């Protein structure tokens, strides 16, 4: 029985998250008839897309044993720069070009992070705290500080911001961008599970010194990782611009912890080496579910942040307890298993 329970819980407590989400959905459906509708669902998807893309980047960094707080600065830098250049340019090159340029810029900024972190073996938090300020400052100083409204966005980008795949008349619509977002999520999952590069990231997060000893090229892997995370962040930034239908250089930066919280809730270990795309998707959905709908349960919106904070503590707490249990298991090797242990 314990085996099936363990399997349901999943390697990163994904099962637990599903259970929590189901409980909240059921509770909200009872509390408000307006909740269980397609429009609520589409709104949830829409609000989860941007955080999810950023969260995937954070997931990669967390697995490798680091922590990144510069991804939103990279995201808005790359997106704003790309959109601004598209406007300044002669002809509208289309949204694909906006994405491509932004991701190139993001990759470049990520490269900077990666080189500093991997070459000089500096703590990731400190490095990214520094680059976050640099990126934000450089954006305002050299690229632009002007708010770009929907009217001034390239026509093709504007058009894309209204595209949709499903339209329930009067009941909202499912935004088109869910398609590329889903593809990116699947690609990251494949990268992590099926490539030597992905497994190397887990190995580095598990034990960097051991990784070096078995011949993993740690520096190269880390640099490549931050380049990738930079490009992902840029994708998230452009997505943010498209969905918000404006490009504001002052936006995004400052909400890093919400994203990190969602990833940690999704089972990624803050100590590195653990985490999954599925868990991250669930973590993001859970946080958005609470952010969007707590009001329905009669809880004032001012409590939203507190609720997210409590969830985070809960998530980390579950991790810590699980880690403690694993340690006990390894100590008591030759002891017969007691019935009490099985239940737990």
Partner 1 sequence: MTPSAAPILEVRDVVKTYGGVRALKQVSLELLPGEVHCLAGENGSGKSTLIKIISGVEKPDSGTVAIEGQIHHHLTPNDAIHSGVQVIYQDFSLFPNLTAAENIAMLSELAEGRKISSRARIRAAARRVVEELGLRLDLEADVIDLPVADRQLIAICRALVNDAKVLIMDEPTTALTHTEVDRLFDVVRRLQERGVAVMFVSHKLDEVLRISQRVTVLRNGEVVQSGPASEYTARSIAKAMTGRDVSEERLVSALAPDASVLMEVHNLSRAGGFTEVSFALRAGEILGITGLLGSGRAEIAEAIFGIHPADSGSISVAGKERRIRSIRDAVSAGIGYVPEDRLTQGLFLDVSIADNIIASSLDSYRTRTGLLDRRRIRDSIAGLFRRLRIQAPNVGAVVRSLSGGNAQRVVIAKWLDRKPAVLILNGPTVGVDVGSKEQIIGILREQAAAGVGIVIISDDIPELVTSCHRVLVVHEGRIVAELSGEQIDAQEIERRMAA
28, 78, 112, 216: residue in contact with partner 1 (rule CB under 8 A): 216
Binding segment for partner 1 among 20-28, 177-185, 281-289, 332-340 (CB under 8 A)?
A: 332-340
- How many residues are there in the chain? 344
Binding segment for partner 1 among 111-119, 178-186, 279-287, 323-331 (CB under 8 A)?
A: 323-331
Asked whether position 274 contacts partner 1 by CB under 8 A, the answer is yes
Binding segment for partner 1 among 117-125, 172-180, 232-240, 271-279 (CB under 8 A)?
A: 271-279
Asked whether position 329 contacts partner 1 by CB under 8 A, the answer is yes
Q: From the CB of 338, what's the least distance to partner 1, in Å?
A: 6
Q: From the CB of 315, what's the least distance to partner 1, in Å?
A: 18
Asked whether position 220 contacts partner 1 by CB under 8 A, the answer is no
Between CA 168 and CA 174, with CA 172 as vertex, the angle to 5 degrees is 80
Cα-flanking dihedrals φ and ψ of residue 311, to 5°?
-60, -40
Q: Would you say 292 and 242 are in contact if contact means Cβ atoms under 8 Å apart?
A: no
Q: Would you say 97 and 85 are in contact if contact means Cβ atoms under 8 Å apart?
A: no
Q: From the CB of 6, what's the least distance to partner 1, in Å?
A: 11
Binding mask 196-215 for partner 1 (x = CB under 8 A): xxxxx-xx-xxx-xxx-xxx
Q: From the CB of 13, what's the least distance to partner 1, in Å?
A: 14
Q: From the CB of 299, what's the least distance to partner 1, in Å?
A: 37
Residues 99-114 as b or e (16 or more Cβ within 10 Å = b): bebbbebbbebbbbbb
DSSP string spanning 7-65?
HHH-TTSHHHHHHHHHHHHHHHHHH-TTTSSHHHHHHHHHHHHHHHHHHHHHHHHHHTT
Q: For partner 1, which is the closer residue by CB, 51 or 275?
A: 275
Binding mask 154-193 for partner 1 (x = CB under 8 A): ---------------------------------------x
Q: From the CB of 208, what's the least distance to partner 1, in Å?
A: 10
27, 84, 273, 307: residue in contact with partner 1 (rule CB under 8 A): 273
- Long-range residue pairs from 211-220, CB within 8 A, at least 24 positions apart, any chain: 218/118, 219/118, 219/119, 220/118
Number of residues that bind partner 1 (CB under 8 A): 36
Residues 6+ apart with CB under 8 A from 213: none
Residues 6+ apart with CB under 8 A from 81: 101, 102, 105, 139, 143
What tokens were used for 288?
């958005």
> d(Cα 124, Cα 254) in Å, to the nearest integer?
18
33, 90, 334, 343: residue in contact with partner 1 (rule CB under 8 A): 334
170: left (phi over 0), alpha (psi -120 to 50) or beta: left
Q: For partner 1, which is the closer residue by CB, 208 or 304?
A: 208
Q: From the CB of 138, what's the least distance to partner 1, in Å?
A: 35
Q: From the CB of 287, what's the least distance to partner 1, in Å?
A: 25
Asked whether position 335 contacts partner 1 by CB under 8 A, the answer is yes
Cα-flanking dihedrals φ and ψ of residue 230, to 5°?
-60, -45
Asked whether position 330 contacts partner 1 by CB under 8 A, the answer is yes
Q: From the CB of 221, what's the least distance to partner 1, in Å?
A: 11
Give contact residues for partner 1 (rule: CB under 8 A).
193-200, 202-203, 205-207, 209-211, 213-216, 269, 272-274, 326, 329-336, 338, 340-341
């Amino acid at each position: 029985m314990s085996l099936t329970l363990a399997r349901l819980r999943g390697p990163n407590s994904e099962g637990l998250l599903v259970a929590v989400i189901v409980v909240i959905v059921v509770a909200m459906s009872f509390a408000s008839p307006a909740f269980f509708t397609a429009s609520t669902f589409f709104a949830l998807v829409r609000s989860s897309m941007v955080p999810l893309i950023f969260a995937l980047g954070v997931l990669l960094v967390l697995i490798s044993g680091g922590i990144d707080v510069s991804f939103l600065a990279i995201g808005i830098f790359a997106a704003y720069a790309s959109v601004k250049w598209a406007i300044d340019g002669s002809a509208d090159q289309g949204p694909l070009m906006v994405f491509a340029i932004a991701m190139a810029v993001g990759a470049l900024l990520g490269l900077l992070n990666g080189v500093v972190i991997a070459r000089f073996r500096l703590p990731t938090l400190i490095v990214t705290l520094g680059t976050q300020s640099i990126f934000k400052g450089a954006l305002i100083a050299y690229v632009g500080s002007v708010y770009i409204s929907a009217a001034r966005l390239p026509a093709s980008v504007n058009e894309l911001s209204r595209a949709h795949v499903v339209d329930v008349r009067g009941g909202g619509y499912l935004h088109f961008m869910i398609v590329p977002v889903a593809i990116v999520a699947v690609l990251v999952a494949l990268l992590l599970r099926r490539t030597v590069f992905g497994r190397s990231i887990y190995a580095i997060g598990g034990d960097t010194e051991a990784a070096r000893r078995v011949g993993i090229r740690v520096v190269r892997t880390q640099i490549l990782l931050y380049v990738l995370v930079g490009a992902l962040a840029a994708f998230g930034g452009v997505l943010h611009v498209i969905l918000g239908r404006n490009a504001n250089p002052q936006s995004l930066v400052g909400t890093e912890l919400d994203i990190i919280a969602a990833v940690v809730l999704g089972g990624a270990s803050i100590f590195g080496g653990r985490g999954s795309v599925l868990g991250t998707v669930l973590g993001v959905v859970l946080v958005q579910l609470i952010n969007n709908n707590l009001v329905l349960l009669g809880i004032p919106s001012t409590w939203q942040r507190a609720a997210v904070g409590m969830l985070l503590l809960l998530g980390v707490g579950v991790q810590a307890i699980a880690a403690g249990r694993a340690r006990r298991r390894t100590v008591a090797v030759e002891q017969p298993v007691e019935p009490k242990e099985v239940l737990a």
